[in-house]
Structure 1
Amino acid sequence: MKIITLLTDFGYQSHYAAVMKGVMLSLNPAVQLVDITHEVPPQDVFRGAWLLAEAAPYFPAGTIHLAVVDPGVGTERACAAAKLGDQFFVAPDNGLLGIVSRRLPPAEVIRLDRPDFRRTVVSNTFHGRDIMAPAAAHLSLGVPLRDLGPRIDILQPLPFPEVQRGDDYAAGCVIWVDGFGNLVTNIRREALPETAAGQAVVTCGERPLCDWVHTYAERPAGSCVILFGSSDYLEIAVVQGSAAEELKAKPGTPVRVQW
């Protein structure tokens, strides 16, 4: 049974995600649909790209990932399908695949332009329903990627904030605030010397912090702590609270680790 995942910025109060599922199930009633999230901040391509790249590697080979965060819908931007590593991706070519394509080697990328593999009538404002959902469903039925359109050389890149590293520091930023208010940064464990964890001072915005832990429950409620999360990114959290509110931080807030 083929798996298709969905990631969008549609939210759960509209019918849009359900409509895309209906299109795919009409073409392949046996497909297994898995929601990654529909709570990407509206039109936030970077946040959608990061969440997709974090989730995709945990799915089996052959999984098809359908991602729609598409502020340029109806313009000249392409709709794309790609094989990256051992998985498939269908998305607008607007940078949404820019992070995952840096982590999984591109094997083949095509532009979705074949009328036989889209809905008969294509709306100017809902390519997720009329172009991308049918393409994902046809892939799940075994249609070769190359049959869906002409090959293109490269996916639209997405600027990613790089960590700046000096002899005694690493500087990055918050890239995601999760549902608990934890601040996830772009600083990975390997960017720091082994001796830094547990000793370095972490400054978020203008607030210095130095309470390193291995898990949230090591400190009482209300404590502001530093740790490496499940994906090995440096995180700042408030136990049973919100670090985003406590530190008045958001994506883009600078974070510096000094050792």
Structure 2
Amino acid sequence: MPIITLTTDFGIKDHFVGAVKGAIYSELPDANIVDITHQISPFNITETAYILRNAYKSFPDGTIHIVGVDSELSKENKHLAIELDNQYFVCPDNGLISMIASEVNPTKIVEINIHNHINSSFPVLDVFVKAASHIARGGSLNVIGKEIQELKKLVEIQPKTNQDKSIIKGGVIYIDNYGNIITNINQKLFTTIGKGRSFTITAGRYKFTEVFKSYNGIVDYNIPEEKRQYDGEKLAIFNSAGFLEIAIYKSNLETVGGASTLLGLKYRDTIIVEFEDVVKPEFIPINQ
């Protein structure tokens, strides 16, 4: 039996998550259900896309991902079943898949047309579970929907560059459990535009001129341990997902605080990378 994952903004206080799991087990008694998260900020599509993009790749082929964020059916928000990267996504057409599919094109997209789903006030329970169960049994996507070619795009989450490629203008797309700030500027774009040039990253009122390879890259291990004072230091890093992150070394939201609070930055705030004209001597272009 394939794994079915759940990603929602339902939280864990109410009955919603339990009801969805119960409905899955009613359809598939031997189902394997995995919670990716139910703590998405309400209706936050970008946050959903970031978390799901970085989680789904760890799952085996054939996994089915139910996504319940901003899932109410409307003329502008269809219900979709998608085959992508040898896995399946049952989700609303609100743009979240465009971030996941930015590097891998979907194999097939269908607009779900399960009978009576238009009248549902709880589509994750009444529609997505039935669609996911059909797929789990080996059913064809064409049975539950009409094939379409286009997905809604989240254009506003893409970073922008100026005409002479000296500036990348990005933004905050996610704040993690440590209060660290994740931007929409990925390492590939940074390297391609930067071409080894020196740079300044402006995040709020703070500036960074170095991006570390790890959180402890900021630590000088030549200094005796008892004299090191790095806790609470601000740093920039490319995280495990390949995105530029502004972090606090060993942040503690109850004591030191996280990057979001200390830098005064929140979701959608602007992050600027400005490159200088001089190329570092040690830079070797990727295509050489």
Larger Rg: 2
Residue 24 (structure 1) aligns with: 24
Secondary structure of the 1:170 match is: strand
The reply on whether 1:60 has 2:60 as its aligned counterpart is yes
Contact in 1 for aligned 2:120/2:126 (Cα 8 Å): no
**Aligned residue runs from structure 1 range 127-166, under 5 A:** 127-165=123-161, 166=164
Distance 1:167 1:99, change over 3 A: closer
The match for 1:236 among 227, 239, 246 is 246
Secondary structure of the 2:261 match is: helix
Which amino acid is the alignment partner of residue 136 of structure 2? S
**Aligned residue runs from structure 1 range 94-113, under 5 A:** 94-113=94-113
Contact in 1 for aligned 2:46/2:157 (Cα 8 Å): no
The match for 2:189 among 188, 191, 198 is 191
1:123-150, CA deviations, whole angstroms, 9 ceiling, x for partnerless residues? 6320100011111112111111111122
Could you tell me which runs of 5 or more consecutive residues in structure 1 were left unpaired when the two chains were aligned: none
Secondary structure of the 2:236 match is: strand
**Aligned residue runs from structure 1 range 69-84, under 5 A:** 69-70=69-70, 73-76=72-75, 77-84=77-84
Cα distance in 2 for partners of 1:154, 1:107 equals 12
Q: How many residues align?
A: 252
1:16-51, CA deviations, whole angstroms, 9 ceiling, x for partnerless residues? 112111111111122211111111110112221232
**Offset of 1:168 from its aligned partner?**
3.5
Residue 204 (structure 1) aligns with: 203
Secondary structure of the 2:247 match is: strand
Distance 1:37 1:207, change over 3 A: same
Residue 176 (structure 2) aligns with: 178
**Aligned residue runs from structure 1 range 115-134, under 5 A:** 115=115, 124-134=120-130
Distance 1:202 1:89, change over 3 A: same
Cα distance in 1 for partners of 2:103, 2:18 equals 30
Cα distance in 2 for partners of 1:168, 1:159 equals 21
Which amino acid is the alignment partner of residue 259 of structure 2? A
Contact in 2 for aligned 1:80/1:91 (Cα 8 Å): yes
Cα distance in 2 for partners of 1:78, 1:187 equals 29
Secondary structure of the 1:6 match is: strand
Secondary structure of the 2:67 match is: strand
Could you tell me which runs of 5 or more consecutive residues in structure 2 were left unpaired when the two chains were aligned: 220-229, 252-257, 276-288
Residue 233 (structure 2) aligns with: 223
Q: TM-score normalized by structure 1?
A: 0.88
Cα distance in 2 for partners of 1:58, 1:42 equals 25
Q: TM-score normalized by structure 2?
A: 0.80
Contact in 1 for aligned 2:23/2:129 (Cα 8 Å): yes
Cα distance in 2 for partners of 1:75, 1:240 equals 44
Secondary structure of the 2:98 match is: coil
Secondary structure of the 1:97 match is: helix
Secondary structure of the 1:61 match is: coil
1:90-145, CA deviations, whole angstroms, 9 ceiling, x for partnerless residues? 01222232222333212211122133xx88xx863201000111111121111111
Identity between Structure 1 and Structure 2 (%): 30
**Offset of 1:74 from its aligned partner?**
4.7
Secondary structure of the 2:90 match is: strand
Secondary structure of the 1:98 match is: helix
Which amino acid is the alignment partner of residue 202 of structure 1? I
